Chains A and B, each alone.
Chain A
């Protein structure tokens, strides 16, 4: 009697595991299809479909080479531009926001609550709300269609959430450390530089990686502020792979994989940081 009860329970668990795993693999199918289509000549996919084991003899990297090298598509330039823009647009706000976050975590000043609310507001306000005046301003200042222009914008925008992120981290550093250093006569800059920063390396890396991914993934600001072919970033270039009437899915899938490769690699390497960053939203602080 008891034995059959246990085995029924085991059977239920097994079935549940199976269902969830099938669901997860089904969730992967679009990615699998993307890879499958990208490594075959598109003609072959049209005739035979991709839901099969591909012929080893027809596997090719031509779609990738075409997308990267053909001057019509030129993802290679887009890739280079994205690296430049995303790197600098992450470095600047992480450095700047570390300062702001220190002030919010350890100093008292007037308008603190208001400034913090401003930070939170900027984190969530639509990007669309800033572009018209900046576009007109940039055109007058010669910042339109330059890396400097979009990097400054991304940096200012990034300071907001990185401040929020780092301030939450700094608050977990025992205040007694800061107080003790103050008693010893250390200046705030010294405390920041010698005590807080070395203890916060993981948070600094996490915010840099997440800001880098965010800037890399951005399309809207790039569309508005970068126009010429040699300035466009990879998200702009990959969207243009989709022709007006005819879609070459070989080319488009290869381009998609190229442009998401960088965030994917960062995600695989820094997995913990990503998950924690998002998970933090659900846990009460």
Chain B
């Protein structure tokens, strides 16, 4: 017997969406509910949010009440600093390298494969390697600075609040650059080589070709790199957990780590849910942006 026409899609959709409903949709909705649940009164209120946002415990702090020159500034601020440094570096460096690899450098496939390694390895191991890179006497960065005689930067970066956050952000450039290079390189494939050749014939310089011909055609790719990198920075967890655990003195905490601290250290599930919702509210505008693009 043939299934009725309108029931047919159900055969395909019912099993997967049952899994999704139970293990993704239900917990998402329940998290919102729990985030308002006041465990003292059993009523719904904004108390979890209030306490979470006002916490001044460096391990759980989301926004510091006063800002000094060195972290801790609070997890949300650290995330934003991360975005402010990481996104432009990864975007510009990625654009330049992808451009050079496409038109000027031999062996570009191998170089792209090397840069991409950072995306493939577990981010937790990435965090350990970042720690390794910035460790006094054995890390490549402090070795370099001690070689040129800069004493203040030849120590273990991740042990000092002044340098720990910066070390993680620079390390995350090392891990993530392969993403932007790969996306940009693929987008450049779609630019006809004849356009570049023609510009060369008319005497355009490398920089002019890049700025006038290549860059404008890459706008969609640039949007993707910026938004995906931003989302990656805002949701970052493994790297921080593995390298510093948020220390020293809370100077490298991020939102996802604060959520985990409430969950696993304080065993306060309701506040943990509140932090998860705050994290989600921060990323949602960018998720909507990407969804619009994919559906449009």
Contacts and interface: CB of A to CB of B under 8 A. Distances in A.
Interface of A: 13, 16-17, 20-21, 23-24, 27-31, 33-34, 37, 45-46, 49-51, 96-97, 99-100, 102-103, 107-109, 113, 115-118, 120-122, 124-137, 152-153, 155-157, 159-160, 163-164, 187-189, 192, 213, 216-220, 223-224, 235, 238-239, 242, 247, 249, 252-253, 256, 259-260, 263-264, 266-267, 271, 274-275, 278-284
B237 A220 contact: yes
Of the listed residues A108, A126, A159, A235, the one surrounded by the most CB atoms of chain B closer than 10 A to its CB is A126
Contacts of B122: 216-219, 235, 238, 259-260, 263
Given A155-B19, A219-B237, A30 B129 contact: yes
Contacts of A260: 120-122, 125
9 contacts: A128-B279, A130-B24, A132-B273, A133-B34, A220-B237, A238-B125, A259-B124, A264-B117, A267-B116
Contacts, number: 286
B183 A278 contact: yes
A235 B112 CA distance: 26
B157 interface: no
Contacts of A279: 182-183, 185-186
Given A51-B143, A113-B295, A132-B263, A100 B28 contact: no
Interface in B243-295: 256, 259-260, 263-264, 269-270, 272-273, 275-277, 279-280, 283, 287, 290-291, 294-295
Interface in B109-145: 110-117, 119-125, 128-129, 131-133, 135, 137-140, 143
B179 interface: yes
B114 A24 contact: yes
B166 interface: no
B interface secondary structure, majority: helix
Interface stretch (B38-46, B70-78, B220-228): B220-228
A133 B124 CA distance: 25
